[in-house]
Structures are given as C-alpha cells and as structure tokens.
Amino acid sequence: DAGITQSPRHKVTETGTPVTLRCHQTENHRYMYWYRQDPGHGLRLIHYSYGVKDTDKGEVSDGYSVSRSKTEDFLLTLESATSSQTSVYFCAISGGQGLGTVSTDTQYFGPGTRLTVL
Amino acid sequence: SQQGEEDPQALSIQEGENATMNCSYKTSINNLQWYRQNSGRGLVHLILIRSNEREKHSGRLRVTLDTSKKSSSLLITASRAADTASYFCATDNNNDMRFGAGTRLTVKP
C-alpha cells in the first residue's frame, strides 16, 4: 500500500462527538488527500494538502477540517460528527510531479477507515 | 458531483474472456486514471493516461482516451478470477480529482 497507514481502521461514535482520523506516509510525498466513499457516489474529495501547513478544500469539505504539521501526517477532523458522515474514508498520496498546488502524478491509497456515526 | 461515469455498472464474464469498461466525463482533463478496488480494500492504481495520449498498455490492460468524445475505455484481456473487483475511472483537472461510481466486474472460473 505504498507506505500509507490509516488509523483507526474502524470507529463507531455518537452524533455530536469530535472525531480525528490520521493518515501517515513513509514515502515523503508532497501531496496528500482525504476522500470519502459512499455507495452510488464513488470517491469524493474532502480536502487535500500540497505541503506542510498548505491545504485546500475539495468537493465535499463542509463539516470537515484538516491539518498537516509534518510531511508524513495528514489529519482529518470531524468537529461534531453527524450520521451523514458515516462512510469509508480513504487517504491518498502522490508524488511531486506538479507545480505549486497541482499534482499530476498517480495517487496511492491507504487501506481506509470505516466510520459509523450513530 | 461525479465527473467520470462508468458503463456498465456491472459486468459478469467467464474466465479467459475479455472485459471492456467505459468511462465518460464532462469537462476538460489533465489526465485520466483507472483504479481497481477489491472488496473491503483501498484503491490500487492501474494506469494513467494523459490528455495528449490516445492509448496505453500495461500487461493485460489496454486503455484508450478520446478527448473529442470525452470518453475512455479499459480493456482487460484474458480475464482471470482474480480480476474480480470494482474498477473506477478518475479524471484529474488541476487537482480536482473526480471518480465515477465504478463498474463491478465478476469473472467466473
């Protein structure tokens, strides 16, 4: 899995509680991404990062925040989880074949985190 | 909203047959990628084709891209039971990566 780990792999939580998911890479890749996967929707981009402390919103960013204080870690936080955020969350990384905020390289995915919000 | 849309949604074939999956998209792209996902696992990158390329091969995989029709196809030749998985196309336009809902391929032994 290209040196990408996600933690936790499974989590059950209650509505209104904060949740943080962690993505860790050992590849020293510049770009990191968070996606969610839901039936009938494929994968949808939540947020991405193009460097330490550099992040931007994706297609479905509402209700989520991210932080990247080190190259190897990208955190996804649900400040107050809702049932609509029940999903499988995937982290991805890509190398530096790009300019600035844009990577044109292949993305490599982590194993996923299954989150259930009751 | 999805950018790429795969067709068919599901495909069932016998081992040894070829499998063809199609992807259509709506806006201009930098590149198009195909991924495979086995049940309960993450996505695995198969092949990337850039907007100025028309065809690429990788082992038993052949991908074509027609930017005038905004479509791509993935051909898996001589399929095996191990090819059973969901296949997704993803279009990349300046880090705006959009995935389709996927084609579920079943290869029967």
Identify from A106, A113, A114 which residue to disrupt to test chain B contact, counting B C-beta atoms within 10 A and taking the largest count.
A106
d(CA B99, CA B109): 29
d(CA A17, CA A9): 18
Residues of chain B with C-beta less than 8 angstroms from the C-beta of A107: 33, 45, 90, 97
d(CA A59, CA B45): 21
Q: Read off the tokens for A82.
A: 């809702």
What SS3 state is found at B65?
strand
pLDDT in tens, A13-59: 999 999 999 999 998 888 999 999 998 778 899 999 988 999 999 88
Tell me the shortest Cα–Cα distance from A108 to chain B, in angstroms.
7
d(CA A20, CA A1): 21
Comparing alpha-carbon positions, the chain B residue that sits nearest to A42 is B101
The answer to whether the Cβ–Cβ distance between A111 and B41 falls below 8 Å is yes
**Predicted confidence pLDDT, tens digits, chain B (109 residues):** 556 688 899 999 999 999 999 999 998 888 899 999 998 888 999 999 999 999 999 999 999 999 999 999 999 999 999 999 999 999 887 767 788 889 999 999 9
Q: Given phi > 0 = left and psi -120 to 50 = alpha, else beta, which region is B106?
A: beta
DSSP A31: E
Q: Read off the tokens for A95.
A: 């190398």
Q: Given phi > 0 = left and psi -120 to 50 = alpha, else beta, which region is B92?
A: beta
